[in-house]
Each structure stands twice: as structure tokens, then as C-alpha cells.
Structure 1
Amino acid sequence: MSSSDCEQFAQLLIENHSNEYIPVINVGILFKPKVEFTLEGIYQTEKGEKLSGRWKVQIKGADQILSNGEIELEVLSGAVLNPMNEDCQFTLHNVTIGINFHWQRDEDQVFRGGLKLLIEDEKITAINILSVEDYLMSVISSEMSATSSLQLLKAHAVISRSWLLAQIEKNKALEQKVEKYSSTYQTETELIRWYDREDHANFDVCADDHCQRYQGITRANTPMVVQAVKETWGEVLTYEGAICDARFSKCCGGMVEVFENVWEPVNHSYLQKLVDNEFDPKGFSLDLKTESSAQKWILGEPDAFCNTNDKEVLSQVLNDYDQETNDFYRWTVEYTQEEISTLVAKRTGIDFGTIQELIPVERGDSSRLIRLKIVGDKKTMIIGKELEIRKALSESHLYSSAFVVEKVEENNAVKFILKGAGWGHGVGLCQIGAAVMGAKGYDYNTILMHYFRGAGLEKRY
């Protein structure tokens, strides 16, 4: 499909009630050697062939073969199946969600809009083409429960819209730069890496937690979700005229982290350190870069919006698979010396030998570790940033990098006990904290201004 065809497709499918243009996005959903899908309604190929029913697509040379058991069609990589009317929808079968997280699983998911099929790294990538606002209807139902409070849903609609549009603008800027963008720094003694949506070159965002959860219309939205999107239609957070790179995580652990401690070394004035409360908690130093203050903070229970066990509030933020985990604000993970040595070797690909020590080197403003020294009897190395640390110390992802390490020796056996705070990177909006704020009666504007200091709301379309 040519760029002009895509523009025509976009304008046909995604105009709102006042005929204003709404941005169109490409969302990467599925990446497998063979993709199976069911078309409900009539879809048309770029050659004019009309398709319906169940199909599978496989790679043949540089092209793809579409088949339904009776017919085989050869299509180019990047081919788009266009819905013939707005009632059409398609099901992608065996979509993997929660990739590398503890809730990873496959499920069938239903989508509206166009279906693009692309060959990428000897696999087929299934991409959904749709409007930003249709995308948001799903995202705020996928990132949290569709039964959340209206104010929380409105706040999330604004930050999800802002983040998405900011990423598209950022990608355009990166394409124009002469020097190559790099998110990895590595020497013999240090590995510093961060993960962001730049990993995706052939679509705007993916559908999993790496970007924002997007599960089509599988996660049933509600009239309140529709209301939240419509009442914030085209509304974004801005700072000095630019759309904010509005980040969010499940639980900040009581202190919101600074952007550059997690991702590239760029300062965003609206993504700074802040206490997740109306006041500073008593009895704690807030200089959490200092090891003694960080330990007291992590091992303590400071008052915060996100420090809650209210199941009704938590159910607003957490879908069923998220509720398989109950310890969000403070948590503990234990490993034997053998377990952690095997795990770190497997997850990093580096043979440290038997792990002797895990030593904090540098913490961010929320107490999250951004550089950790791993001492083994074969190799010693510093790793970072926060997600690299979390990936190294868990089969999926450690809840956060805000943790202290206790090394215990019992009966001639060594055990490493990690005691931690929060879930996720901790930058920007804290979803559990925002849910508590919504339950307490704060409106969405106040919630947003709490987490994004100095930003403003602006309607872009």
C-alpha cells in the first residue's frame, strides 16, 4: 500500500463527528513465523481481492502466502487488508501478551481498522492501522480495568494520548539526525542499557507493556471509557509548546522517579522527583540517592497515595492477570546463591561464576538502582539502567529496581534476600496512586498536575 493510499484509508475511516482530522497510527500486535486470523465482514487487498473468514499467512521467499484451505494468494510484505465498512473486525489468534512478564500467555484478540502483514526478521508482523482515539478506547481498558473511576480514566486517556503522539514526534526527530541513536553503553567492566519504543522501526508502537498495553476490543470497554475518551478528545499534556512524553507505571513506591535515570540522558522538567502525597512523610529523609536514606525508605512504610490495600481501588487499576500479584508497594524476593548465579548468567548471557555480592553503585531519586555491581568469582561488572537490572534478577522482570540486598548465611548456605518498593520504573503518573486520588474525589486535571508538575492541558484536535 502506498503512502497516498494509506492517507486515503485513514481519512475514510477516522474522522470524528466534526470532520476534524485524527492522527492514524500503526500498532505492532503479533510476531510469529505463521499468523492466523479471522476476518468478520469483507476486507479488500490492494489488488482488489475481497476476503472474509479464517486465514493464515506464511512466508514464501520475499513474499507472503495467504490461504484459507481452498485459496492461496501471494501478497507482498507490507500488504494491507482494508475493511470495507466500519462494522468489520478481525481476530488475531494466539496473540502473546505480557511478553517476558510473569503473566505471559497467548489469547485471541479482536480488532477494528486495517490489518497490515509485514515480513520482519524472518517472522510475520501483524499490524493494526487505526485512529488514535479508537486506540485509546482499548488502551485505557487494557492498562487498567474499564470499571475504573471516570477521573482516573480521563487522566489516563490524556497521558496515553500524549505519550503516543510524543513518541511519533520523537521518532521523526531521530530519523532526521545524522548520528545514530544508541541506547547501549558497554565496556569490559560496565553495561548500561535502556529500553524504549525506538526498538520498533516498522510501526509506531507495539501492543505490549514495552509501549502501552493495547488489546483491541478484546478488553470490553464501558460507557464510562467512551465518556472518558470523548470528554478529553484531542487533549494532551504540553510543556513549552511541545507534547509531553507522559510516562506512567503501576506503583511508584511512594516517590516518583526522574526520567533520565531510566531512559536517555535528557531532562524533562515535568518528569521530576516528587512525593506521591500531598505532604512529605514524617521520619524519612527524601535524599534517596543516599544509601542509608534509601534503605530506610524501602524497608519502611511511608504514607503515599499508592500505599493502599483497598481491593476496590486496586481492582480499578489491575486487570485479572495483574491481580495475580498482591505485593505492590513493598515486596520480598529470595534466591539461594546457586539460584541467583544461574539466573544472572541466563538472563545477561555473562558468566559471572558464583555470585558473591550485589553492591549498589548508584540510585535514582526514588531509590531505584540505576547502576548495580555484580561480583562473581569469575567476573565483576556494573550493569544498568533500571530495567536491565530488573531483567537480570528475575525470570521475567523484577517488580522494580528500588531494592536493598541482604546476604544471609545459614547452615553453610548463602541466600540473597531482595526487599523492594514499587512496581515499574516509577516515572510520571503512578497508576495506583492516581486511582486512590480518583477515589478521594480529585478531578483528572488535579491528578495530572500532581504527577506532571509545570505541564498544561491543550486540545490539539
Structure 2
Amino acid sequence: MKTIFYKLILCLALFITLFFLYKPQINNKIYKGKEKDVYVSVEMNQEVHQILLDDYLLGVVAGEMPASFELEAIKAQVVASRTFVYSRLLSVDNTTNTQVYLDDEKMKVSWNEHYEEYKEKVKKAIKETKGEIITYQGECISALFYSSSNGKSENVENYFIGSAKPYLVSVDSHWDESYDPHFLKEKEFSKTSLKQMFNGSFNYQILSYYPSGRIQTIKINNQNYTGRQMREKLQLASSDFTIVEKSDSYVFKTKGSGHGVGLSQYGAQGMAKEGYDYQQILKHYYQGVEISKNN
């Protein structure tokens, strides 16, 4: 009888031991299988805020793309923005240096009477692309984007300092001219103001263009400037510009808006209007990429 009793005690002790040893393993497996909440560190007004990724993407689309756009264009923007923030290791600021983010109050102001409609539309785009990022050879890409091109996107090395990337190359983007209502812009400078900006005189000669039509090098007085330098110095819409002289001023006429590298937002809108889905749009503007799940 004692032998049976001791055996029962031993079995009970073994069961309890195995239970507590095994239970944490079960919990770990369940925890690892769940999708964790992902937060983005966003610097705003010199303070860092932790924002849920989906909420961040909602605010980014509100700040970066017209929510009146086609759903497939918005999906393309969502995946590009999600990819962009992952490429920055989930740490960004709230400026055009990374991505502009609007909080809920600013969204209400921006969208006004369309607030509820647009919010649900963007949330739908986020949900239907959940976890998707753009990769090249298994690596998260630098998903640059801009408002509209001059008719072609630009090779990354032609605008930004750094090496070429096989997925950021010039491609056709003829949709921009039709869909961007501000495709052509003008900015006028008095001759006096330009002389002050360029050390007392303004004698220019355009030396070279990129195949995309954007200015590569322009000589002003005795100094060479890149198209990007001129765009930033004069705050022009793009680096595709012509200069028209008037009696007491110069008019800079530009095509498109932005640096021209990667996804064109108005190009995406044009493609969506023609029936392309968001993956086709992304694979057009980012050559040779795949759409991958991040979880």
C-alpha cells in the first residue's frame, strides 16, 4: 500500500514539474505567432512620439497624398510609406525630409466635410495591404516618392548623392501631365533679386540635361550648379525648368513637382484610373521589386 501511495505522489510531482516546464513553451509559441503591435518613433516639435504603425500610415497618407485619389493609388502610397518607414528603422520626423504626418485634429481640418469618408477609405487601403512592404532581392528598399514627374521618373544617382540603385531608375510617367492640375508652374524673380542671390550678376548658360529632360548642369556667372542646387536655392517645383527673360525679371517655368525619384503620386493616380492595381503601379515605378509580407 505504501509503495502504491509513494508511486502516486511521485507521478503527481512529475506531472506538476512537467506542466510548469512545458507551459512557458506553449505561451512562447502562442506569443510568437501573434502579430505584435509595431510603433513608429516620430519626432514632432523636438519631442519623440510613439505612434502605432497603422495610425502613423493613416496620418502620412493624409499629409502626403490627396485622399480623393483612387483606392489603388492610395494602396500604392500606403505600401511605399510602410516600406519607407521600415527602411528608416521605424524612426522618422514629421517633415518632408522623411514623411509628413497629420494627427487626427489636423486630418479633420485637411479633409473637412470628407473626414469620415476619407478616413475609412485610407483605413481600408491600410487593412487590405496589411504587413506588405517592397523588397529587392529580399531586402527592404528605399521607397522614395514625390508628387508628379515631368513625364519620366529620374535615376536616383542623378538627384541624390550616392550610388545607383537598380530599382530606382527612370521610367515612363506620361500620366502626370494629364492628372496633375499643377503640372506646369511659373515662378518669377526680379533681375535685381537674382543678382543679389548670385553675387552681383546673373548670366546663365544651361550646359547639360539628363535623358529625363531635367537639368544636369547650369552655369551662372563663372560657377556651375546642378539642377537640384538650383531647384533648392530658388525653391522651384522641380529641376526641369526653362528660363524666360522679361524686361525686368526672369520667369522659371517648371514641369512636375518634386525630386522625381521613385513613385509618382499623380502617375499612380493615372495608372489606377486606367485599371492598374497597386502592385502593378509599384512594380512599374520600382523596377525589379517584389511585394513581400513583413510578418
One fold, TM greater than 0.5? yes
For residues 132 and 214 of structure 2, what CA distance do their matches in structure 1 show? 31
- Equivalent residue number for residue 215 of structure 2: 369
- Equivalent residue number for residue 99 of structure 1: none
- Equivalent residue number for residue 430 of structure 1: 264
Structure 2 vs 1, CA of residues 362 and 131 (structure 1 numbering), >3 Å: closer, same or farther? farther
For residues 230 and 403 of structure 1, what CA distance do their matches in structure 2 show? 40
Between structure 1 and structure 2, the one with the greater Rg is 2
Letter in 1 for 2:122: V
Q: Are residue 213 (structure 1) and residue 121 (structure 2) matched?
A: no
- Equivalent residue number for residue 449 of structure 1: 283
- Equivalent residue number for residue 54 of structure 2: 133
The CA deviation at 1:385 is: 5.7
For residues 148 and 452 of structure 1, what CA distance do their matches in structure 2 show? 20
Q: CA offsets, 1:132-186, max 9 Å, x none?
A: 22211111122123333211111111001111211239xxxxxxxxxxxxxxxxx
Give the match's secondary structure for 1:446: helix
For residues 442 and 132 of structure 1, what CA distance do their matches in structure 2 show? 26
Q: 1:256 aligns with which of 153, 169, 179?
A: 153
The CA deviation at 1:445 is: 1.0
RMSD: 2.2
Any conservation in 2 of the 1:29–1:206 contact (CA below 8 Å)? yes
TM-score, normalization by structure 1: 0.52
Q: 2:44 aligns with which of 29, 39, 49?
A: 29
- Equivalent residue number for residue 89 of structure 2: 168
Any conservation in 1 of the 2:236–2:254 contact (CA below 8 Å)? no
For residues 88 and 213 of structure 2, what CA distance do their matches in structure 1 show? 27
Give the match's secondary structure for 2:178: coil
Q: Are residue 353 (structure 1) and residue 200 (structure 2) matched?
A: yes
Q: Are residue 266 (structure 1) and residue 166 (structure 2) matched?
A: no
Any conservation in 2 of the 1:358–1:405 contact (CA below 8 Å)? no
Give the match's secondary structure for 1:222: helix
Structure 2 vs 1, CA of residues 167 and 224 (structure 1 numbering), >3 Å: closer, same or farther? same
Structure holding more helix per residue:
2
Q: CA offsets, 1:103-122, max 9 Å, x none?
A: xxxxxxxxxxxxxxxxxxxx
TM-score, normalization by structure 2: 0.79
Letter in 1 for 2:268: A
- Equivalent residue number for residue 222 of structure 1: 119
Structure 2 vs 1, CA of residues 23 and 262 (structure 1 numbering), >3 Å: closer, same or farther? farther
Q: 1:389 aligns with which of 200, 222, 230?
A: 230
Letter in 1 for 2:206: P
Letter in 2 for 1:207: N
- In structure 2, stretches of 5+ residues that fail to align are 1-32, 108-114
* 1:30-109 mapped onto 2 (5 Å cutoff): 30=45
Letter in 2 for 1:427: V
How many residue pairs are counted as aligned between the two chains? Answer: 254
Letter in 2 for 1:136: L
For residues 129 and 435 of structure 1, what CA distance do their matches in structure 2 show? 31
For residues 360 and 129 of structure 1, what CA distance do their matches in structure 2 show? 47
For residues 24 and 371 of structure 1, what CA distance do their matches in structure 2 show? 42
Structure 2 vs 1, CA of residues 23 and 399 (structure 1 numbering), >3 Å: closer, same or farther? same
The CA deviation at 1:456 is: 0.8
- Equivalent residue number for residue 22 of structure 2: none
Give the match's secondary structure for 1:306: helix
Structure holding more strand per residue:
1
The ranges of structure 1 where at least 4 consecutive aligned residues each deviate by more than 4 angstroms after the TM superposition are: none
Give the match's secondary structure for 1:162: helix
Any conservation in 2 of the 1:147–1:222 contact (CA below 8 Å)? no
Structure 2 vs 1, CA of residues 19 and 240 (structure 1 numbering), >3 Å: closer, same or farther? same
Letter in 2 for 1:27: V
Letter in 2 for 1:168: L
